[in-house]
Amino acid sequence: DALDVGAAIDTARKVASARAALATLPAAQREAVTSLYLDGHDHHTAAALAGCEPGAMRVRAHRGVAALRSALA
């Protein structure tokens, strides 16, 4: 259907925008957002993988998500 194709195109555009916005984040923020929200790790695991404290991971993720919201608004 034409409606399904339109929805698929809209979804593809949103995904492309989100990927582009994610690519603009500083590496530490991008790593935090990816590890927590795409890979599904908890703060402790993500922090261990990144070699930082869980509190630092929370800050990086918070700043990254805020930047993404701003970029995608």
Summarize pLDDT for 30-41 with one digit per residue, the tens. Answer: 999 999 999 999
Distance from C-alpha of 17 to C-alpha of 41, rounded to nearest angstrom: 24
- What are the tens digits of pLDDT across the range 13-61? 999 999 999 999 999 999 999 999 999 999 999 999 999 999 999 999 9
C-beta of residue 51 within 8 angstroms of C-beta of residue 28: no
CA 21, 23, 27, 28 torsion-angle sign: positive
Q: State pTM to two decimals.
A: 0.83
